[in-house]
Amino acid sequence: MEVSDELGYLCRIVDDSKVSTGLTNKGFSAFASKVLGLPEVSIMESIKTAGIISDAEPEVPFRPLGVFNFNPEPESLEKMMSGMLNIITGDNLARNFLILFMARYRFSVALLETIIETHGTMLRITSENCAYAVMTSDFFLQAEAVNRWAIQQEAALRSTSPGSMGQLLSMDWFLSIIKVLRDEDSGSFHGNMETIIASMDENSLDELLSSISSGILPALATQNELLYRDERIRQAFLERSIRHNESIGLKRFYYWLGIANDLSLGLEFVIGSIEFFPSNVFAGANDVLGVYLFITGSSQLVARSLIQIVMQFHLRRSREKSTRRVSELMRANE
């Protein structure tokens, strides 16, 4: 079976992907079948025969051997791009990821790549899905059909609110992602997405994906003014700044308190041990004093944990206090 220009071009698009999705031959053939209307069983054998791949086994990673010159007719290309777009937009998460890619390319590549590397299964990157590989290809992103769709989506998003961000704005990872968006907006993309995602547990990652599916993150990515002017975001950053400054002071205090406790504890055990020396070794030995020093030192071992407990309690009260202070400051500035 001869490889059509459409099938060859689809191979080229997937090969141009900027992220490694773990796509298999089976996944590619399933996707190509939906886009081009070809039977799955014939797709892999035909591109293997044409020398595009070396191994047609279903579970083998899909890796084209090189760049091939396939150029479909404009009408066929438009139809093919529309078909891929329909598949991607059929999944709400993939659809909103595509909006992110069209609005904030570097940010989205870093975000998607890191999520795939750390929690690929949470994005439903399965052997049947190569939508995420397609949407990172320049060939796909620059297609007229995709750009027309993106313009419509961005126009719709610009006229809508990002929705409720209440709980998200209390999460450090969410504010860190907003900061990355701000950095990219100002032309300095310094956000370490890998560090942000790595610090998140599965619940937080679920919330991140939900913020994409619900349109919150795409809305923020397309409405730059929200990143700076939204009162909720401003309040959250102000609160985090105040909380951070206060927590540094508290942690420094308890750090030195812990050192003082450990230092005195060590001295008490050293001196207490000396007090138990035989009288022919240390004439001034005092067993009673040694016992008291050991009791005091043992109590300070307990104090280690108590210092940590009190510090956490103090930090919690400080956070509550900073929240009230921010509310007062925001009201005063209204």
DSSP string covering 114-136: HHHHHHGGGGT--TT--HHHHTT
Q: 30 and 131: one domain?
A: yes
| 281: containing domain | 233-333
Residue 315 belongs to some domain of the structure: yes
Residue 311 is predicted with a pLDDT of 86
Contact 28/130 with Cβ under 8 angstroms?
A: yes
Residue 127 is predicted with a pLDDT of 40
**90: which 2 tokens?**
């059929």
The residue to which tokens 């993309």 are assigned: 189
Helix axes 231-274, 172-185, angle to 10 degrees: 120
Residue 187 is predicted with a pLDDT of 60
Q: Across the strands, what pairs with 24?
A: 61
Q: 141 and 237: one domain?
A: no
Task: Give the C-alpha separation, 89 to 93, whole Å.
Answer: 8
Residue 180 belongs to some domain of the structure: no
Task: Give the C-alpha separation, 163 to 153, whole Å.
Answer: 16
Task: Give the C-alpha separation, 71 to 135, whole Å.
Answer: 19
Q: 129 and 254: one domain?
A: no
Q: Across the strands, what pairs with 61?
A: 24
Residue 209 is predicted with a pLDDT of 85
Residue 128 is predicted with a pLDDT of 45
Contact 34/74 with Cβ under 8 angstroms?
A: no
Q: Considering its fold, how many domains does the chain have in total?
A: 2
**212: which 2 tokens?**
């994409």
The length of the chain, given as a count of residues: 334
Residue 177 belongs to some domain of the structure: no
Residue 317 is predicted with a pLDDT of 81
pTM for the model: 0.69
Cα 190 to Cα 36, 179, 194, distances in angstroms: 40, 10, 12
Largest CA distance in the chain: 105
Residue 113 belongs to some domain of the structure: no
Q: 15 and 136: one domain?
A: yes
Residues in the chain predicted with pLDDT less than 70, given as ranges, are 1-2, 67-68, 119-129, 159-163, 185-191, 280-283, 322-334
